[in-house]
Structure 1
Amino acid sequence: MAVTSVTHLNFRGQARAALEFYQSVFGGDLAAVTYKDAGNVQDPAEADQVMWGQVLAANGFHVMAYDVPSQTPWNPGENAFFLSLRGQTTQEITTYWERLSEGATIVQPLAPAQWAPLYGMLKDRYGITWVIDVVSDYNG
């Protein structure tokens, strides 16, 4: 089993441009799934914004990003990033979830999602927001 942690940057309508910029700097492959792609459109004006995106380069650079929906409070000085934890199996991720959940505020309960076998979000007892999921082959 292997688990990775990746910085997950939060934007308001600039995630795609930021990912394209980071790709131009570090190389690698850019992948992006829009809210429309994932069937999760809350505001039609934001349908083409990035719900999940990443740049992954052979040199080891890896960053994820998304556009915070307009109905969700966002301040780049307060929640500019998440820590994304991705695992290979539901058992592995469930174990980490249970441990991180102690004293945490659950933002999104750990459950199957349209884009991943398991997905959840919590703010741990130290105020760090974790996005936790099982790697899938979803490609928009």
Structure 2
Amino acid sequence: MPVKAVTHLNFRGDAREALAFYRSVFGGDLAAVTYKDAGNVQDEADADNVMWGQVDAGNGFRVMAYDVPSALPWNRGENAFFVSVRGDDAGEITAYWKKLADGATVVQPLGPAQWAPLYGMLKDRFGVTWVLDVVAEYDAS
């Protein structure tokens, strides 16, 4: 099954602007889902911030981004990105998770999420934060 590793950039309120900028540079399609769109508002100040966004260009360029919720610590340049591994096979994603989890700190256990059949986040033993998920079509209705 195909799996893609994508750089996942983290912002505090600037994700939409950053994605628009990267789209202007590389072309492609921009998609953004706010915390409100996903029904995942923990703090009203974050409602219109990007919970998940990406630019996907036909030339192969792809980047993902989100606005770190205000309840979580965030400093520009510190933990500024994740490596996102997305696939369509739950068994394959689970196998990668198990291997990456060796010596890792689990931030969000791998399991069903409101937006994906499987989603998890961990910081590996080298300090790199990985997000693994099974791709699901977004339904804006």
Q: Indicate the TM-score class for this superposition, using the shorter chain for normalisation.
A: over 0.9
**Residue in 2 that maps onto 1:137:** 137
**Residue in 1 that maps onto 2:79:** 79
* Structure-2 separation of matches of 1:92 and 1:76: 33
The aligned runs of 1:1-140 (5 Å cut-off) are 1-140=1-140
* Structure-1 separation of matches of 2:37 and 2:123: 27
* Structure-1 separation of matches of 2:13 and 2:54: 15
Q: CA deviation at 1:139?
A: 4.2
Task: Note the aligned Cα RMSD (angstroms).
Answer: 0.8
Conserved in 2, the CA contact under 8 Å of 1:118 and 1:133? Answer: yes
* Structure-1 separation of matches of 2:45 and 2:74: 17
* Structure-2 separation of matches of 1:32 and 1:23: 12
Could you say if the C-alpha distance between residues 6 and 45 of structure 1 is closer, same or farther in structure 2, counting changes exceeding 3 Å? same
Specify the SS of the correspondent of 1:54: strand
Q: 5+ residue gaps in structure 2?
A: none
* Structure-1 separation of matches of 2:108 and 2:66: 16
Over the matched positions of the two proteins, sequence identity in percent amounts to 74
Conserved in 2, the CA contact under 8 Å of 1:55 and 1:63? Answer: yes
Per-residue CA shift, 1:76-109, capped at 9, x if unaligned? 2220000000011110100000000000000000
Q: 5+ residue gaps in structure 1?
A: none
Aligned residues: 140
